[in-house]
Amino acid sequence: MTKSMNNTAVWIIAKKEYSDAIKNVLFVTLVVFLLFLTAVSLLVAGFNFQSQVTQYNAAISQLHALGQTGAVLEKPQYFPLQMLRGTIEYLEIIGAIIGIILGYISIAKEKGNNTLQLLLSRPVSKSSFIFGKILGNSLLLISLLGLIVFFIMIAITGIGHVMFLPLELIKLFLAFIFSYIYLMFFYTLSALLSLLFKNLPNALIVGFVIWLLIVLVIPQIGDTMDPDNQIPGGFFNSMHMTKTQQQGVITKFKTYETLRNALEESSVEKHYERLAFATLGIKTMYNDKSLSIIFQDKWGDLVWIISYYMGSIILSFAVFSNKRILGKET
């Protein structure tokens, strides 16, 4: 009976979370802004590809006019998933902000209305309360990502006039599972801070400071310190180095590379980007590669983002179990 009551409580809390969020003006505004940026990035990518095709056709026509019919130029290849670079980058930034706002709202409304203690005085366990909030916001973010995926499929199919291959659909699905984990990390982080801080605006400020560090500052420092990023297209590629040769060069700068890598490892955004870019083939070396090859290289990044998310949930339970934080003295 108790288990049934707890399950019912989880669903009631989840439905309320979902309902409250879609009525929040700030959340809706950010979602519309994210969808707009996604549309713009897809249009820009589409125009860029069409421009490449136009240049290719013009070059072929010019060669034929000069009588060089045997000349061979590399025809631009249409890889639909590579067009999602802008979408992933916007999810890294705007998506993380949406997660922070949801986490803040989720706890602030309870504290602001003084309903937290009242809610826990009812036959609702703390685990049901947390799981209900996580479930409600999970469904909300899954709905958002589902809308983005649907929008992407319509837009890309319209631009390229081709259907997605089964493997491309699987990769797209996996990329947005990673996106869900990434966004939920910021939700749980923000909710955790809102539980910890008595002054709610301070919790939001700290949340955005952490966002600034792990989404913008640390990844930028890591990219700047990466010698392979100093030349467009990559230093190693420009020198036509094999992977073994690249590792040999990196070994000679082991201390420097360890420091640079440690900075990047501390950012969940960097792990998410590496994983999503490889899966979607945005990182050219993984384009058209099988999932087994991709995960052979990127399993560590998947472990990291899952660890960040699970760690924030565990901390949330620990904080929520602290009677002093909940305002109880006994």
Please give the structure tokens belonging to residue 310: 């699970």
In a domain, 330, yes or no: no
In a domain, 22, yes or no: yes
Domain span including residue 277:
2-320
Whether the predicted pLDDT of 86 surpasses 60: yes
Domain count, the chain: 1
- Taking only the tens place, the pLDDT of each residue in 189-201 is 999 898 888 888 8
- The answer to whether the CB of 114 falls within 8 A of the CB of 199 is no
- Taking only the tens place, the pLDDT of each residue in 135-152 is 999 999 999 999 999 888
In a domain, 10, yes or no: yes
- The answer to whether the CB of 147 falls within 8 A of the CB of 38 is no
Whether the predicted pLDDT of 328 surpasses 50: no
pLDDT band at 329 (very low <50, low <70, confident <90, very high): very low
Whether the predicted pLDDT of 29 surpasses 90: yes
Whether the predicted pLDDT of 209 surpasses 50: yes
In a domain, 112, yes or no: yes
Residue type at 229 in one-letter notation: N
Name, in order, each residue with C-beta under 8 angstroms of 105's C-beta and a sequence gap of 6 or more: 20, 21, 24, 26, 27
pLDDT band at 93 (very low <50, low <70, confident <90, very high): very high
Over range 243-247, report the average pLDDT: 63
In a domain, 164, yes or no: yes
In a domain, 225, yes or no: yes
Q: What is the pLDDT of residue 10?
A: 83
For the chain, give the mean pLDDT.
80
CA-nearest of 188, 148, 189 to 276 is 148
- Taking only the tens place, the pLDDT of each residue in 30-57 is 999 999 999 888 888 877 777 776 777 7
Most confident of 207-216, 255-264, 281-290, 318-327: 207-216
In a domain, 198, yes or no: yes
pTM of the model: 0.82
In a domain, 329, yes or no: no
